[in-house]
Chains A and B, each alone.
Chain A
Amino acid sequence: MLLFFCFIYTNAFANPVDSLLKNKVVVKNISFPDLQLANGPMDSSSFIIPFSKVGNLMLIKAKADSVEGNFVLDTGCPGLVLNLTYFRKYSSSQESDAESEGITGVTRADQVEIGNFNFGTIKAYHVKADCVNLGNIENSKGIKVIGLIGMLFLQNCELIIDYQKNLMYFHVIGRKEASVYEHSMLKDETAYRTIPFEMSENRMILRTVMAGKKLRFVIDCAAETNILDSRLPDKIFETLSITGKVSLVGVGNKKVDAVKGSLAHFEIGGQDISDLPVLVTNLEKTCFSNGGCVDGVLGLDALSVQKIGFNFMKLKMYIWK
């Protein structure tokens, strides 16, 4: 689900144009209180951070100046997004009774500058983050979400997510060890499958074949479901068992139809996943500016219940059996 928040804001993140911004807000410091640092070999470094899971979302406790809450780790998101609710400038129009004009006027292009972004050994200064309304995640999950951490901060990392211990192991890979580094958890190669992926505009793209057709999926660790494009050939849907129809509701209560169901077979890296739950809808408008379109979205829940890992330098994904 969060993929779509982020599609929208890619350009603003990559090319911030301050002069267009009406309400620039400055956050001095974002930190993660439960994070534990560990020294890495050579020019590398490691850190471990506990997470909690609500639905498919992986939440990391964080503090942005005085605001406490959760960041969602979101590989479907290119950069950093903050929840507008907690990082907007106080609108003077809020004080007037004619609030509706005022509010709609200031929610459009807010952007935040973060002085220090301290994500373990991943540190960034004067980071620009886009501010969007993440209220619907909060309202559906009952959790306080202050932002999303996307791919920009993972590009030099290896990340192993242990679902059973609720821990994320980050390793920032230095240039000197980039070709030789391997986490101790990866020593036993029989315990996991290795699957290559590509990066396109800061998104992880996995290629697979369904019913003889080559397909591209975005890997989104925050996706609420797996999504398939309804425009794919009929043959792909022959193994889809449809269990219901739903409406997706957008801003302004605009609705589009989608069907939910499960795919009898889905192959990824030589591994057959049976009964993959999917939502089918028209993905016509989910093309990247340069990187073509995608045929669907894959969440992590479908791939492993134990551990899953990503090496963003070697562009390899590790799925524990």
Chain B
Amino acid sequence: MEMSSVIISIKKYCLKGCMAMLLLLLTAPLHAQPGTKEYTISKGDMKITLSKSLKEKDLDNFIDQYNLGDLALKKMISSNFQDSVKKMGWKIEVNSSTILVLTKPFLSADIFNGPSKTIDLSWINSAAAAMQMPINRPYGYNVFRNKHAFTVKDSVVTFVLHNHKNAMQVKLAGSFTNWEGNAIPMFNSDSGWVVSIKLSPGKYSYKFIIDGNWITDPENKTAENDGEGNTNSVYYATNTIFKLNGFTKAKKVILAGSFDNWDEGRLQMNKAVTGWELPIYLNNGVYTYRFIADGNWMTDPDNANRFPNEHNDFNSVLTIGPPTTFTLNSHKDAKEVFLAGSFNQWRSYEVRMKRTDSGWQIPYVLGPGNYEYKFFIDGHSFDAMGKESRPDAPGSVIVIGANYTFHLKNKSAAKTVFLAGDFNGWSPNAYPMKKDGDEWTLTLHLYPGKHLYKMIIDGNWIIDPGNKLWEDNEYGTGNSVLWVK
């Protein structure tokens, strides 16, 4: 009896097990299509279904799209490496010779639960913020819905507002009119409300005032928020026309350069009678650039000014504005000296200095900003005083267009004080403050808008005791807050 009862039990368990196996076989996608790559939501969990015969490029795209770099999926598929997948909280549901199925529960967003706990949906903000926030890039160009929205002749720009024929009064107000203070009346013409004004090269914000109501320019695609709640249209009075003669049969010509982080798609040139051209506004500075005609990169054939680049080739060079002279009064016997800094991404082969009676010198144009730099003497790095510095040590600092001075008082016993903030990537030792009597000071160029910073006294990070404004940070230690107009 006992024996038969055991056998029956075994049969029961066997039956249950077989049923479970059968159910699993029926439900699991063991034979998914060869190109399967799915990211779905199932039973409240995230679910990844991947065919193991997926092409490497397709798998790379999938990993990029769903931000799955931490899972080492390629290693798991090729050599069954499971550590990363498990470490990141994913469960392996199916791992056959053809298919991989992973699931992960959504963790409860309990970050909402309790005082001072907030959520940062930074990915959502990023796209909108990039469109709306003032961007402190060194160039600008106009994008209108109608290509010929404004005419420009001898620096005289004719602003046009179409429609609104029945308006009683339309004015143009902007950064060039002290806004409403000197707003300029526009004239009702056949082509709309118009007014012509002379503008020197630069970036200008403006709006139209129609019978007292302020509107942005409906024809202008470039608008930005000034940080104080006002969205304004932006017009660039250009100072540079990039031209490429010839190549009239090319389908597309792109301008790429250091001013746009070598973006290969943004600055598309316009077809002109004898070639291609693009008018843009550039801040003062030294810029390297190349043209890309139907995918082929080239220097500017009409510009002899060139710097060597990292591909054993050259980039064309454009200089705008008055230069700052960098001088090194030592190392007269050196064979060669280069200037490099944050302004040229530390390319130590680009800007060759010229020998003088007392050392070395080079005029170089910089726009407003704070820059670190070093001299590279026969392959070794040196600071502004000609003292050798470690390759990883911060460079000397030069400030162009200084507009704000930080002060720290009552710390005369401190040995070192540094300033760290969003303006220097929070470097703990790049921006030393200078002792001036019983206070420490540092003057910098700061872009308009909000800045976060801290001071570092003898290695201790503190918020600025002279500034009442500060906000919490991710470490619970606070950052000082500064708004620059």
List A residues at the B interface (Cβ < 8 Å). 1, 4-5, 7-9, 50, 52-56, 59-61, 68-70, 84-86, 90, 94-95, 97, 99-100, 103-104, 107-109, 132-133, 135-136, 138-144, 165-166, 224-225, 230-231, 234, 237, 240, 242-254, 256-260, 279-286
Contact A250 B119 (CB under 8 A): yes
Contact A69 B41 (CB under 8 A): no
| 6 intermolecular pairs with C-beta atoms under 8 Å apart | A7-B112, A55-B129, A70-B229, A141-B128, A250-B111, A259-B41
- Using CB atoms, name the residue of chain A closest to B483: A144
**Cα–Cα, bound, A61→B227 (Å):** 11
Contact A135 B112 (CB under 8 A): no
Contact B465 A55 (CB under 8 A): no
* Number of chain B residues close to chain A: CB under 8 A: 68
Q: Knowing A54-B132, A97-B460, A249-B122 touch, does A237 contact B231 (C-beta < 8 A)? A: no
**Cα–Cα, bound, A259→B42 (Å):** 13
Contact A136 B46 (CB under 8 A): no
Contact B109 A256 (CB under 8 A): yes
Contact B462 A97 (CB under 8 A): yes
Chain A residues within 8 Å of B457, by CB: 97
**Cα–Cα, bound, A50→B43 (Å):** 45
Number of A-B contacts (CB under 8 A): 218
Of A133, A245, A258, which is within 8 A of B116 by CB? A133
Contact B462 A142 (CB under 8 A): no
**Cα–Cα, bound, A284→B122 (Å):** 21
Chain A residues within 8 Å of B481, by CB: 85, 135
Shortest Cβ distance from residue A112 to the other chain B in the assembled complex, whole angstroms: 15
- Per CB-CB distance, the 3 closest pairs between chain A and chain B, nearest first, are A250-B111, A55-B128, A135-B471
**Cα–Cα, bound, A253→B215 (Å):** 41
**Cα–Cα, bound, A99→B449 (Å):** 26
Contact B66 A245 (CB under 8 A): yes
Interface membership of B452, Cβ < 8 A: yes
Contact A141 B133 (CB under 8 A): yes
**Cα–Cα, bound, A59→B132 (Å):** 13
Given A142-B133, A257-B106, A282-B105, 15 more pairs with CB closer than 8 A: A1-B119, A8-B115, A8-B116, A94-B465, A95-B465, A99-B463, A132-B116, A132-B118, A136-B118, A140-B122, A165-B213, A234-B42, A252-B474, A260-B123, A285-B112
List B residues at the A interface (Cβ < 8 Å). 39-44, 46, 65-68, 104-126, 128-129, 132-134, 213-215, 225, 227-231, 449-450, 452, 457, 460, 462-463, 465, 468-472, 474-478, 481, 483
- Using CB atoms, name the residue of chain B closest to A135: B471
Chain A residues within 8 Å of B123, by CB: 246, 260
Chain A residues within 8 Å of B231, by CB: 52-54
Chain A residues within 8 Å of B125, by CB: 55, 140-141, 224
Contact B213 A257 (CB under 8 A): no
Contact B112 A4 (CB under 8 A): yes
Of B40, B114, B215, B462, which is within 8 A of A99 by CB? B462
Contact A142 B450 (CB under 8 A): yes
Q: Knowing A107-B116, A259-B46 touch, does A245 contact B477 (C-beta < 8 A)? A: no
